[in-house]
Amino acid sequence: MQLDIFMAEVFGTMLLILLGDGVVAGVLLAKSKANASGWIVITMAWAFAVFTGVVVAGPYSGAHLNPAVTLGVFVNTALDGGTIDAALFVTYIAGEFVGAMIGAFLVFLHYYPHWAETEDQGLKLAVYCTAPAIRNTTFNFISEVIGTFVLIFVIFAFGNNGATTGMGSLGALPVALLVLVIGLALGGTTGYAINPARDLGPRIMHAILPIAGKGGSDWAYSWIPVAGPLVGAVIAALAYHFIFVETVVKAAA
């Protein structure tokens, strides 16, 4: 395991989840000063949570912060003729999930008095993980695929065909703006997980933490914000390499 990459992904993803789930807690939990401030507040804060994580992790790991980004980068590397380091792949994924779970735990601590004050079990779960506005397995899955496709495809476009170091190579602000527009334009259907660690890590913490008055963790839905982003990432890598590069990039060269 490359410790520098692992720790960078842990701390970057931890901050991403602390601030991202933190804003959801502030908006949804009872007696928070941010209560009911709405979707714009959530999407803006999530964008700058990504900004924060990228600033911290970027110089050391490239700031993937997301297994879908890691998968997309590794697929793109293979398509470009590079070699895949399985141990490095596992290092990224482990760091992302550990960081997400630590961030979720810190949100639990930070808002500790507010859990008991909030009656709605669904709002407590929504702090930690996504849920669809309309539950439809097929189209919820498609929404996650499309949202993640946009994320990964544009990351490759930012990196000019084959950035292999992740979001950190792009600069933090462009990535934050990309996440912001995905949230505003595409997030209304499923809450735009677009990141398996962002959803599954905190969902696990919701299940095991002693959150006052919590309900179930909606495991029946939990596979969608994991599988959808991974599929979207692979499609984005394939589309960028075989379609966009072949038709646009090479034509302009």
Per-residue pLDDT for 253 more than 70? no
pLDDT score recorded for residue 204: 98
1-25 pLDDT, tens digit each: 699 999 999 999 999 999 999 999 9
If 0-12 CB within 10 Å is exposed, 13-18 middle and 19+ buried, where does residue 86 land?
A: exposed
Take residue 236 and report the two structure tokens written for it: 């984005």
Q: What is the mean pLDDT of residues 43-47?
A: 98
pLDDT score recorded for residue 87: 95
Hunting for tokens 């929404």 — which residue is that?
143
> What is the distance between the alpha carbons of residues 63 and 72, in angstroms, rounded to a whole number?
13
100-158 pLDDT, tens digit each: 999 999 999 999 999 999 999 999 999 999 999 999 999 999 999 999 999 999 998 88
Q: What is the mean pLDDT of residues 171-182?
A: 92
pLDDT score recorded for residue 210: 98
Q: How many domains does the chain have?
A: 1
Average pLDDT over the chain, rounded to an integer: 93
Give the domain CATH number at 170.
Answer: 1.20.1080.10
Per-residue pLDDT for 162 more than 50? no
Residue 159 · residue 245 · CB < 8 Å: no
183-231 pLDDT, tens digit each: 999 999 999 999 999 999 999 999 999 999 999 999 999 999 999 999 9
Task: Show the domain range for 73.
Answer: 3-252
Sign of CA dihedral 52, 186, 207, 124: positive
Residue 115 · residue 205 · CB < 8 Å: no
pLDDT score recorded for residue 167: 55
pLDDT higher at 81 or 99: 99
